Each structure stands twice: as structure tokens, then as C-alpha cells.
Amino acid sequence: MGAGRGGLKTKGDDVMLLVAETPATAAALFTTNKMFAAPVRYSREVAKRGRVKAIVANAGNANAATGDAGYANAKKMAAMAAEYAGCKASEVFVASTGVIGRPLDMEKVQAGVTNAARALGDDAKAAAAAALAIMTLDTRPKSAQREVKIAGKPVRIGGITKGAGMMSPKLATMLCFLTTDAKISAGVLRSALRAAAATSFDRIIIDGDMSTNDSVFILASGRSAAPAIKVGTAAYRAFVECLTDVCVDLAKQMAGDGEGATKFVTVNVTGAADERSAVKQARAIANSALVKTALFGCDPNWGRVLAAAGYAGAPFEEKKAVLKFNGALAFRKGVPQPEGGRLSEVMKEREIAIELDLGLGDGEAVIYTCDFSYDYVRINAEYHT
């Protein structure tokens, strides 16, 4: 990986280049927004072929709402990276994050790619620089790595990420680039990535908005000594578990670094009618502006949490619900529980676990989120298109 400055952000590196030693097996996930950026359109085609040698990404400009010229620029960006990677442009994933609706300055992109290529290295320092280069409103770089033994041999999985799944003029798209040395086919890799994302990236909420640029890429080099991973085997389950661990780690880092966030919040719904209900109810709680402002105010506002669970469109019975904040009981048997002081105390902590047991079934879901502060409004109101 390497990072370089092209001048797209006001300061620091803003282009990241990742080059695999040999063409890798590849899979990807993208925003499901029907309004999507040029690099998403381009990378979707690349993902279909399942073979990738490089990833190039820039921050500072999302190359979204830029029409056909934007698509041509995404392609050019891939060609620039391909030159340094020694491959075809069709073997390069492209991602962008930043302002939307402005043409990408290709001279700056070229300068950034050139500088990133010069800085290419496979050490932790290069990875850290790459994680910094793709940051926009993030306050800290985000990376994670894990190792799993398959047939006694180590398989490594690592990744960097930025953003928090929200929309872009405010420069906050989620991008995530993962690598592994596993031997795995593109189809199996895609299944594994989908499974891992379902309980990690799909379980973060910052403000409920969805970006035009979200992209998750994974490249598998096949250089591990472990045997090839096939669907339905113990090796596959071990790989998915490890990949999920990496993705959950990255997802939590994103939720805790949401725009203006002062708290990292875990919403844990149990006892729901089924898993789908649990996800709906945890999402409704995590997405509620009233719940989020209460968290900012350190208020154990059980009423807002229960009301959100009640309007989520899933079974709910007030008398069966039990609600705790960081282990302190707030509501049970249809009435608030007078924990008083302790409840107020735990709400001052930086990490808050909202634990809601609906007492209806065995559906469970966890959603990671953050609070809603003055700074969120400031950051998003001050920005001018």
C-alpha cells in the first residue's frame, strides 16, 4: 500500500494505492443507493470479473453526480493505477469520497497516484498512511487485522476503513479495503464477504442517510499455505468468523467516530419475535433522533427507546419489555424502575449499551451507533455546496 498527496483535500495525502504482488481473487459490496457515483459504476464491472491487482482511492472529491465525464474519469484513474501495478485498467478497483457534483481534477489525481506509487510498501507504516489518506471527516484512522488457523496453517485478514456509512457532500462515505492471503475462489469470497458484512457494516447507523459511494473491497492473494477454502466446510466457517471479527472491529471504529459523536453506543435487542424483528427494532432505536439527542444529554430516556421499538413495525408488548442501560434497570413490567442515581451515573460513560429484552421470542440483533450532538448539526449545517 502507499499514500500520496494530489491536492484534492486541503492538506495531507489524499490518494491511496494498494497493489497486490500477483492478480488476486476479488469480491466487493457497494451502496444500494439508486443514486451512485461513477467509481461505483466502474468498480461493479471490475467486481464481476473477480480478478483484481490494485485498488486506487481518493478522498476530497466523490466523483458523484458528474455524468458521463465522471465515469470516464473513474476509468482514467484506474488506468493510472494500472500503469504502476502492471495490469489492465479492468483489474483495478476505484473508490472516491468527498464533495459531490464537482468534476474530478485529473491532474491532481495523477499527482496523487504517482506519489502513492513512490511510497508503496508492505509494512504497517504504509498501511497506516493509506488509512490516513482516505480519511475525510474521520478524526482517526481505522484498521484491524486477525489471523485464523485453517488446517493448522495461518490465514491472515486485515483491512482499513473510513467514514460512517452516511452521505457524501459532507465527505462521509464508507470505504473499506480488505486483504487476505487465503486461497479462495471469487464466488466463495463473495459469499464470505456478504456474510461478514451482514453483521458488521450492515449494522452501523450514524444518521440513517446512505452514501452514493459506499464500497467494500476484498482481495485474496492465495499465498497462505492453508488449503483452498470451499463453501460448507469447517474451514469456510472459520474464515467467515475471522472476517466477521475484522469487519465488526472496523464497524465499531466507524460508529464510535461518527460525525460529532461523543458516545459509542451498542443497541442490543433480544427476545424479539424473530431476527428480522430484532434488526428492525434495534435499527429504529439507533436511528431515532430523540434517542440520539437523549444519549448526547446523558439522559436514560427509556420512553424514547421503548417508543422506537413500538413503532418499528414488529411485535411489541409494553408489559413484557425489560430495558437496561449499561446493566442498570430502567423499565420492567410496564412501568419505569426507580434506579435513580445509578442510572444517571452510567449514562455519563463514553460507551453505552442499550439492552432491550422484548420477552417475545428468540430474535436477537446488535446495532452500533453514536449520539447526536450540536457538532453533528454544526458539521452538516456549516458545509456549503
Catalytic site positions: 173
Query: How far apart, in whole angstroms, are the C-alpha atoms of residue 248 and residue 255?
Result: 10
372 binds its own copies (CB under 8 A): yes
Nearer to its own copies by Cβ, of 36 and 93: the residue is 36
Positions 274 through 303 that interact with its own copies (CB under 8 A): 287-290, 293-294, 296-297, 299-303
Q: Which of 12, 35, 124, 349 touches its own copies by CB under 8 A?
A: 35
Listed ranges 50-58, 80-88, 163-171, 191-199: which one lies at the site for its own copies (CB under 8 A):
163-171
* Shorter beta-carbon distance to its own copies: residue 211 or 266: 211
Q: What are residue 147's DSSP bridge partners?
A: 156
Query: Between 224 and 301, whose beta carbon lies closer to its own copies?
Result: 301
Report how far residue 342's alpha carbon sits from residue 328's, in angstroms, rounded to the nearest whole number.
Answer: 7
Chain centroid to CA 72: how far?
A: 27
Q: Are 314 and 280 in contact (CB under 8 A)?
A: yes
For its own copies, give the closer residue by CB, 64 or 157. Answer: 64
- What is the per-residue binding string for its own copies in 60-99, x denoting contact by CB under 8 A? ----xxxxx-------------------------------
Closest distance to its own copies from the beta carbon of 287 (Å): 8
Single-letter residue type at 26 = A
Stretch that binds its own copies, among 135-143, 151-159, 221-229, 329-337 (CB under 8 A): 329-337
Q: Is 44 in the site for its own copies (CB under 8 A)?
A: no
Number of residues that bind its own copies (CB under 8 A): 65
Tell me how far, at minimum, the Cβ of 178 lies from its own copies, in Å: 24
User: Residue 59 and residue 3: Cα distance in Å, rounded?
Assistant: 11
Q: Which residue has the cell 466463495?
A: 188
- Quote the least distance from Cβ 60 to its own copies, whole Å: 15
**Cell (9 digits) for 169:** 457532500
Following DSSP, what letter does each residue of 192-224 receive, concatenated?
Answer: HHHHHHHTTGGGB-SSS---S--EEEEEE---S
Instruction: Please select the residue that binds its own copies; options are 162, 170, 280, 324, rule is CB under 8 A.
Output: 170
244 or 270, CB closer to its own copies?
Answer: 270
Q: Helix crossing, 67-85 with 106-118: angle to 10°?
A: 20
| Distance of alpha carbon 209 from alpha carbon 226, whole angstroms | 41
- Which residues contact residue 143 at a Cβ distance below 8 angstroms, ignoring those fewer than 6 apart? 127, 128, 131, 158, 159, 160, 161, 250
Q: Is 210 in the site for its own copies (CB under 8 A)?
A: yes
What are the grid coordinates assigned to 257, written together? 467516530
Binding status of residue 304 toward its own copies by CB under 8 A: yes
Residue corresponding to grid cell 457538532: 375
Nearest to 57 by CA among 74, 41, 34: 74
Give me the residues that bind its own copies (CB under 8 A), please.
32-36, 64-68, 100-101, 166-170, 207-212, 287-290, 293-294, 296-297, 299-304, 306-311, 315-319, 331, 333-336, 372-374, 376-378, 380-385
